[in-house]
Structure 1
Amino acid sequence: MRNQTIEAALAKNPHREQLIKHRFFEVVDEKAFSHEQAEMVLGQWWHPLHYFPSFLGKLIAICPQMEMKTAVTHILNQEVGEGDPARAHERFFIQTMTDAGFTRAGVSEAQMTPATRRLIDGYQRSTDSHLTGLGFLYGTEVADLTMVAKLGKLVRRTTGLKSLPWVDIHVKQEPDHVETAGHTVGLAYTDAELATITRGAEEMWQLWVGFFEELRNRVV
């Protein structure tokens, strides 16, 4: 039986609320971004997108229970294209953004900002402990669709395009990712283990808040 108490607590966590209601997203709703500003934002987003499969692979390797390994593997399989590299999320991202008129170098080869570097460092450190890693995973999945939807809105407003396959694949798969990640945090844990998972999710949300705060400062 899944422990839904931890899921409910994480869903209402104030750090998650701070992320999904970040003022950068208000800027996306209100401001017309230049092509260069939009490309800058996308170029920073690339780094966590590109690292996420590596994070998942490392998490699989250290998870002690098969239930955990199976759940994370399911998410990883979708991230890397379910057997077809052309359907991997990062390939969808590059194709979608170059079709929208952005340069491949701009959206996939940009130098990391300090906040982006801290975010990637956080994901890398998180897999030193499977509990912290699970917190990072669940924290990512319950915020990802909001973040992707706002980036999709940014691209649509900047380019005038309506069809964005990279956004569409998230809309299709993300509810399944949240459900699957929920299975990993919903297993039987001690109070101390649940606290470690929660701290992992909170650290991840705070790193993402810093990521978007830096982006906001660069476009406002």
Structure 2
Amino acid sequence: MSSMVYIRLRKKVTAHAGKILRLRDVAQVIADEPYATVREIPVYEPDFKEGNLAVLDLIDVVRRIRSAFPGLDVRSIGPAQVIIELQAERIRPRLWWVAGVWLLLFVGSALAIMNFHTDVSMREVHERIYYLMTGQHVHEPLVLQIPYSLGIGIGMIVFFNHLFKRRLNDEPSPLELEMYLYQEHLDQYVIEHEKQKERTQS
């Protein structure tokens, strides 16, 4: 009976150019002691010429394992591809760039909120609510406008489930869920695109 090794490819890994990825980098491996070195088999060498995303197929991984250990029985569990994201050396953003982006987002979101309130006549609504509650006409009902303005900020904190870097609870925010779904669709597209490219080249 031949010895067996079980591998489970990771969904996505990050790599730097020039660093060879070994089996342990792209998969979880269970192997008997005589074959423990199977984890060190090189399976992929990142190259920016291929772009910043690449797909490593299970067949290629098994082929490399069988080449190094011909008598080894390889069993796969889980996904059939692993996405490799190539990362260049991180450049620290400049202060003026961060300040410019922050200012742009701040002004844009403020204008969006003000335009929305203008469209729905929020000031007139506050005046009308104040009149219904007190029977007095007031041009600027601050007793309603100030709590309402604070409520917008508190509501955004609760909605996004973050206060700076601190999470309010363990539940994902709607934005995190949308980003997760977007990443899932993007990964699936990359896999299908790479398969189509390989079929075209072959």
| TM bucket, shorter chain | under 0.3
For CA contacts below 8 A with separation 6 or more, give which structure has more relative contact order.
1
The TM-score normalised by the length of structure 1 is 0.22
The TM-score normalised by the length of structure 2 is 0.23
Who wins on radius of gyration, i.e. which is larger?
2
Structure holding more strand per residue: 2
Structure holding more helix per residue: 1
